[in-house]
Amino acid sequence: MSETKKMAVSPAIQVGGSLFTPQQLADIGNAAGPEAKIEMTSFKQLYVEVPVEKHDAVKEALERSGLEVNPAGFVTKSLIACNFCKGAEEAGLETARMLNQAIAGLATPTPVKVGYAGCALGTSEPLLKDIGVVKMRDTFDIYVGGEPKGLKAGLAKLLVSGLSGARLVPVITKLIDYYRENAKGKEKFSKFVDRITIEQLKQQVSE
């Protein structure tokens, strides 16, 4: 049996949510081939597992189809965004796209999920993510340390409020970099937040 490699495939961030076109689904099947393993994940990505020698060709074919292809495994996942039900401009679609472009696929000690909600309804459940972003009119609030699994599940805690759109990407990337540099082994992000404390994280992102 040949060695295989997984890739994480997702549709573009758009009004309406995570929407694949019929052609894109057909392209995934055609490019990956009948022997590929395709897994639906809980974070709105498809894991497509193909032989290593086919990986690059499949990746290029899927990107030509308008799909986003990122590494699988211990990385920052593609942005888990809401459906932008209040409209692209009001809910900050372009800001969400810029954030996704900046964070998706960054190597991390454990997988990191970042959620984005275009309003306080929070339909993408950002407070259950490692990092949650909520647009509040013209500014953004950032929450950290959400834990959706296990008997000790808990909501993320407010880290920064009233952040401008221009500051959002730099603050989030700085937060992820700080985690990458200071986590102990394969320390989960929620446990990292508890150990480092909200106060210290606030200091780090404000510098």
Q: Is the pLDDT of residue 75 over 80?
A: yes
Q: Is the pLDDT of residue 23 over 70?
A: yes
Question: Which CATH number is 35's domain given?
Answer: 3.30.70.260
Closest by Cα among 76, 155, 81 to 111: 76
Domain, as residue range, for 54: 4-71
Q: Is the pLDDT of residue 1 over 60?
A: no
Question: Which element (helix H / strand E) includes 37?
Answer: strand 37-40
Structural domain count, the chain = 2
**Would you state the pLDDT for residue 207?**
73
Residue 112 DSSP label: B
Q: Looking at the structure, do residues 12 and 64 belong to the same domain, yes or no?
A: yes
Q: Looking at the structure, do residues 41 and 129 belong to the same domain, yes or no?
A: no
- Give the predicted TM-score (pTM) of the model: 0.94
Q: Are strands 68-71 and 46-51 parallel, antiparallel or unpaired?
A: unpaired
Taken in order 149, 153, 159, 163, is the CA torsion positive or negative? Answer: positive
* Token code pair at residue 43: 């974070």
How far is residue 79's CA from residue 187's CA, in Å, rounded to a whole number? 21
Q: Looking at the structure, do residues 55 and 98 belong to the same domain, yes or no?
A: no
Q: Looking at the structure, do residues 87 and 52 belong to the same domain, yes or no?
A: no
Q: What is the mean pLDDT of residues 87-104?
A: 96
Closest by Cα among 74, 80, 205, 93 to 132: 80
Q: What pLDDT, in 10s, does the model give residues 129-177? A: 999 999 999 999 999 999 998 888 899 999 999 999 999 999 999 999 9
Q: Looking at the structure, do residues 173 and 88 belong to the same domain, yes or no?
A: yes
Q: How confident is the model at residue 180 (pLDDT cuts 50, 70, 90)?
A: very high
Mean pLDDT over each residue of the chain, to the nearest integer: 95
